[in-house]
Amino acid sequence: WERPDGRPFRQRLLVVANRLPVSAVRRSEESWSLEISAGGLVTALLGVKEFEARWIGWAGVNVPDEAGQRALTKALAEKKCIPVFLDEDIVHQYYNGYCNNILWPLFHYIGLPQEDRLATTRSFQSQFAAYKKANQMFADVVNQHYEEGDVVWCHDYHLMFLPKCLKDYNSQMKVGWFLHTPFPSSEIHRTLPSRSELLHAVLAADLVGFHTYDYARHFVSACTRILGLEGTPEGVEDQGRLTRVAAFPIGIDSDRFIRALEVPQVQEHIRELKERFAGRKVMLGVDRLDMIKGIPQKILAFEKFLEENPTWRDKVVLVQIAVPTRTDVPEYQKLTSQVHEIVGRINGRFGTLSAVPIHHLDRSLDFHGLCALYAVTDIALVTSLRDGMNLVSYEFVACQDSKKGVLILSEFAGAAQSLGAGAILVNPWNITEVAASIGQALNMSAEEREKRHRHNFVHVTTHTAQEWAETFVRYDVSLCNQILFPPDN
């Protein structure tokens, strides 16, 4: 990317997301430690390197006192992060409430739980007000740090109001918005009481992006059906102003995973894991402990497989790493108990004194531990009931160039559109089908595995996070250049 006079130029980018790439843990009044946050958004954005980027977001912690805020701001500045401080009430209503109890289940086609429906309906207005207030707080921080020529890239369902807030501040600001979840059919979006306000607010952006063409199409048809606006091949038009809408499938920093496999500590870990699971095929699930990931369905399918294939019972193990997430939301607490109950029952049923069929860990693994586990896996099981993309499937493929294991992948994950030809696609609701696919994967010939892996490996290593970000940010490059380098410059 060059300036008109040929000198290289690094675009300044303000990345705005609810979650910063690091979460803060308070050690003492003025001392903080920072840990990498989990989730696909963070993973992908950490893979984006070729911009002069600042990250604006919430550090996942309530900091009521000014001294603490000052100290945390300083610690985050070293990571090029700028905090937005949200108080407990806002977090409760905006993050736990509107974002994770309303938008998240709705965008993933999961209805509200029966007992929550009325309560949520009653608290809807106050939660939506908190959502707008929180978005305004993010906009205030962006505005303080914005410099002419910056591209402001807003991320995800937490910040659908942000493009409007930013354009209200400065209509010349270049604003993009990207959704990391599915955008549901307009029939689903139609049920949101705030449906029109949200769509209008997103349309204030210059460019709106989704992981897949289907999500983009759903968004455009929601604008047409709900707002009566015209959809064009380029996007959505409102009173002569065009908001561009397009699909930008995300990727990972595949080189980082491939390189990690060479690290001596990872190789040592791989040796240990091979020893521990010797004589058994390793099946792996890595997920946030979220209702969209289909973890109970995955485990029940594994149980069915064991039931129907007694000869495999002592020759296969399922390792499920499930990092707890959004633990203040009741639905997530219920899911944790449900998963524990099912795992306990199946281990009781098929376990022996020396081995259990399921190793379930409620925690996050560090990067090297995760890479080692991916590398020794024979079959990865991704059974999301809906998923924007699912980067775990990409990470698994990146780490499998020597083993060439099999990916069993839900057809409801965005990744099914990119890795479908190499994976075994399944409907996670159909436990019989998933159980049969485990059998198919275990019995697959080496040639077939090689062919499928090659397809996916080429995709994962060529469609990277960096390429994704460049495509998005440069999409409006002609417009950006006019602002960055006005003709008389």
* CB nearer ligand G6P, residue 164 or residue 326: 326
- The C-alpha atoms of residue 174 and residue 181 are separated, in whole angstroms, by 23
Q: What are phi and psi of 21, to 5 degrees?
A: -65, -15
390 is in the binding site of which of ligand G6P, ligand ADP, none (Cβ under 5 to 8 A by kind)?
ligand ADP
Q: Indicate which single residue of 150, 156, 287, 387 sits in contact with ligand G6P (rule: CB under 6 A).
A: 156
Beta bridge partners of 359: 319
- The C-alpha atoms of residue 101 and residue 384 are separated, in whole angstroms, by 18
Q: Indicate which single residue of 19, 269, 386, 459 sits in contact with ligand G6P (rule: CB under 6 A).
A: 19
- Count CB neighbours of 121 within 10 A: 11
Footprint of ligand ADP on 277-296 (CB under 6 A):
286-288
Find the shortest distance in angstroms from Cβ 41 to ligand G6P: 4
Give 77's contacts (C-beta < 8 A, 6+ positions apart): none
Residue with tokens 């499928």: 452
Footprint of ligand G6P on 33-52 (CB under 6 A):
39-41
Residue with tokens 């402001």: 152
* CB nearer ligand G6P, residue 386 or residue 453: 386
- Count CB neighbours of 28 within 10 A: 8
CB of 170 closer than 8 Å to CB of 466? no
* CB nearer ligand G6P, residue 157 or residue 277: 157
* CB nearer ligand G6P, residue 19 or residue 132: 19
Residue with tokens 């890795």: 419
User: In 3D, which of 40, 148, 32, 39 has the Cα closest to residue 81?
Assistant: 32
Find the shortest distance in angstroms from Cβ 400 to ligand ADP: 14
Footprint of ligand ADP on 323-342 (CB under 6 A):
323
112 is in the binding site of which of ligand G6P, ligand ADP, none (Cβ under 5 to 8 A by kind)?
none
Find the shortest distance in angstroms from Cβ 232 to ligand G6P: 28
User: In 3D, which of 157, 96, 103, 109 has the Cα closest to residue 333?
Assistant: 96
Q: Indicate which single residue of 45, 99, 266, 370 sits in contact with ligand ADP (rule: CB under 6 A).
A: 370
- The C-alpha atoms of residue 245 and residue 84 are separated, in whole angstroms, by 28
Footprint of ligand G6P on 300-359 (CB under 6 A):
325-326
Residue with tokens 């996916």: 456
* CB nearer ligand ADP, residue 304 or residue 368: 368
Give 5's contacts (C-beta < 8 A, 6+ positions apart): none
How many residues lie near ligand G6P (CB under 6 A)? 9
Most distant CA pair in the chain: distance in Å?
Answer: 79
Q: Indicate which single residue of 11, 93, 181, 410 sits in contact with ligand G6P (rule: CB under 6 A).
A: 181
Q: Which residue's CB comes closest to ligand G6P? A: 39
404 contributes a contact to ligand G6P by CB under 6 A: no
User: In 3D, which of 463, 256, 275, 456 has the Cα closest to residue 368?
Assistant: 256
List contacts with ligand ADP (CB under 6 A).
38-40, 43, 286-288, 321, 323, 364-365, 370, 389-392, 395
List contacts with ligand G6P (CB under 6 A).
19, 39-41, 156, 180-181, 325-326
